[in-house]
Amino acid sequence: MSTKDAARWNQRYSGDEHFRHYFEPRPFLVECACFLPKSGLALDAAMGLGGNAAFLLERGLRVIGLDISWVAVRRARERLPGLMAAVVDLNYLWLPKNRFDVILNFYYLQRDLWSQYRRALRPGGLLLIETLTREMLTIHPEIEPGYLLAPEELLAAFRDWQILVYREGWVGKETAHPKAVASLAARRPA
């Protein structure tokens, strides 16, 4: 496990002042709620404090949440007794075949996980990914470009799936922290 990453996220998740919004589901997940099944098993990769997991639990899904931060996992479990959560370095993740009905991946980019998501989703399963694009460099040139999506990279990676929603652009422009993102909701072919 990357102790440097774990320490950084543990420190950030220890306070409430900057991370209250992480207790809420991401707007893209809320927007795509109509695509969610009424039951089944969901995976929330890099779940943070569990805002998305709580949204899924409220809709009747069983949820496994994974995060590198033990602080995030502990806090999410305390708030969400039905959550199955574990401290996991996603660099070493292995997912079983055809296990999940829903997989969420918000604001975490590890391209080699995409092949695992393809294998781990059941046929007809729903994949939701939203993460930063290279447009972020226009306001944050210090970001490592390898952590940012190229134009239409996410779309190209899942072009053979049923694309329910895909867009690239800015979100949160009215806030102090706008983000350039690619957002994908796709269904694995049955």
Q: Can you tell me the mean pLDDT for 174-178?
A: 83
Nearest Cα residue to 26 out of 103, 107, 124, 81:
107
Q: What is the residue-averaged pLDDT of the chain?
A: 92
Q: Over the stretch 90-130, which tens digit does the pLDDT of each residue have?
A: 999 999 999 999 999 999 999 999 999 999 999 999 999 99
Give tens-digit pLDDT for 28-84: 999 999 999 999 999 999 999 999 999 999 999 999 999 999 999 999 999 999 999
CA dist., res. 32 & res. 24, Å (int): 15
Residue 22 is predicted with a pLDDT of 65
Q: How many whole angstroms separate alpha carbon 101 and alpha carbon 188? A: 10
Cα–Cα distances in angstroms (integers) from residue 170 to residues 6, 9, 43, 131, in the given order: 28, 25, 26, 11
Rounded distance between C-alpha atoms, residue 90 and residue 113, angstroms: 8
What would the pLDDT profile of 124-140 be if each residue is shown by its tens digit?
999 999 999 999 999 99
Q: Binning pLDDT at 50, 70 and 90, where does residue 14 land?
A: confident
- pTM for this model (two decimals): 0.92
Map out the domains of the chain as residue ranges.
Answer: 3-17+27-187
Sorting pLDDT into bands at 50, 70 and 90, what band is 16?
low
User: How would residue 174 be classed by pLDDT, with cut points 50, 70 and 90?
Assistant: confident
Q: Yes or no: is domain 3-17+27-187 CATH 1.20.1250.20?
A: no
- Residues 136-149 have a mean pLDDT of 95
| Across 164-175, average pLDDT | 92
Cα–Cα distances (Å) from 83 to 42, 48, 124, 151, in that order, read 10, 13, 23, 35
pLDDT interval class at 179 (50, 70, 90): very high
* pLDDT score for 10: 62
